[in-house]
Structure 1
Amino acid sequence: MVRRSWVMAIGLLAALLAPQIAASQEAPEPRPRAEHDAAQAKASGEPQDQAPTPEAPANEPSAMVEPGEVPGVAADTPATDAIRAVTQAPQPVHLSARVTEKGNTIPEGLVWRIFETKTDNNGQLAMVAKSDDSEATLSLPPGQYVIHVAYGRAQASDTITVNPGNNDKTMVLDAGALRLNSAITGDVAIPLNLEHFDIFSGGTSDADRILVAQNVAANDTVTLNAGTYHVVSYFGDVNAIVRADLRVEPGQLTEATLYHRASQISLKLVSEAGGEAIADVDWTVKSADGKTVFQEIGAFPATVLQEGDYTVLAKRGDTVYNRAFQVVPGQPREIEVLTSVY
Structure 2
Amino acid sequence: MIKRASGIALSLAALLAPQGPAGAQDAPPGPGGPDQPGAYASPSAIPQDVRSRDIGVPPSVGLRKLEPIALPERPDAGLGTSLELPNLPAFAPQPPPQLDIVRPKKSLRLKATLGKNGPEIPSDLVWRLFAPVPGPDGKLPVVAMAKGSQAVFDVPAGNYLLHVGFGRAGVTKRVDFSGEETHETVALDAGGLRLHAEILDGGKLPDDKLTFDVYSGGGDGRERRLLAPGVGPGSVLRLNAGDYHVISRYGSVNAVARADIRVEAGKITDATLHHRAAEVTMKLVREKGGEALADTAWSVTSDQGDIIRESVGAFASMVLTEGDYVLVARNKDRIFQRQIAVHPGENEEVEVLTSDLVDPNSPEVGTGD
Both structures adopt the same fold (TM-score exceeding 0.5): yes
Segments of structure 2 that go 5 or more residues without pairing to the other structure are 1-103, 358-369
Correspondence for 1:84? none
Counterpart AA for 2:223 = D
Q: Cα distance, 1:120 vs. partner?
A: 2.0
Structure 1 counterpart of 2:211, from 191, 196, 202: 196
Distance (Å, rounded) in 2 between the aligned partners of 1:192 and 1:221: 15
Q: Cα distance, 1:250 vs. partner?
A: 1.0
Correspondence for 1:62? none
Q: 1:191-215, CA deviations, whole angstroms, 9 ceiling, x for partnerless residues?
A: 0011111111111333211112111
CA contact (8 A) 1:91 1:142 kept: no
Counterpart AA for 1:157 = T
TM-score, length basis structure 2? 0.67
Correspondence for 2:159? 144
Moved more, 160-169 or 107-116: 160-169
Q: Equivalent residues in 2 for 1:96-245 (5 A)?
A: 96-245=111-260
Correspondence for 2:33? none
Segments of structure 1 that go 5 or more residues without pairing to the other structure are 1-88
Distance (Å, rounded) in 2 between the aligned partners of 1:317 and 1:206: 47
Q: Cα distance, 1:123 vs. partner?
A: 2.1
CA contact (8 A) 1:91 1:162 kept: no
TM-score, length basis structure 1? 0.72
Judging by fraction of residues, say which structure has more strand.
1
Structure 2 counterpart of 1:269, from 284, 290, 309: 284
Distance (Å, rounded) in 2 between the aligned partners of 1:109 and 1:321: 57
- Give the count of matched residue pairs: 254
Distance (Å, rounded) in 2 between the aligned partners of 1:227 and 1:92: 34
Distance (Å, rounded) in 2 between the aligned partners of 1:315 and 1:92: 74
CA contact (8 A) 1:199 1:214 kept: yes
Q: 1:29-86, CA deviations, whole angstroms, 9 ceiling, x for partnerless residues?
A: xxxxxxxxxxxxxxxxxxxxxxxxxxxxxxxxxxxxxxxxxxxxxxxxxxxxxxxxxx
Distance verdict in 2 for CA 1:90–1:289, change over 3 Å: farther
Distance (Å, rounded) in 2 between the aligned partners of 1:121 and 1:90: 33
Structure 1 residue 326 corresponds to structure 2 residue 341: yes
Counterpart AA for 1:122 = D
Q: Cα distance, 1:91 vs. partner?
A: 4.8
CA contact (8 A) 2:281 2:316 kept: yes
CA contact (8 A) 2:337 2:356 kept: no
| Percent of residue pairs identical | 41
Structure 1 residue 256 corresponds to structure 2 residue 256: no
Q: Over aligned residue pairs, what C-alpha RMSD do you find?
A: 1.5
Q: 1:85-138, CA deviations, whole angstroms, 9 ceiling, x for partnerless residues?
A: xxxx99522111111111121001111111111112332111121111211112
Distance (Å, rounded) in 1 between the aligned partners of 2:192 and 2:293: 49
CA contact (8 A) 1:90 1:139 kept: no
Counterpart AA for 2:294 = A
Moved more, 203-212 or 183-192: 203-212
Distance (Å, rounded) in 1 between the aligned partners of 2:203 and 2:346: 7
Distance verdict in 2 for CA 1:321–1:106, change over 3 Å: same
CA contact (8 A) 2:325 2:339 kept: yes
CA contact (8 A) 2:338 2:356 kept: no
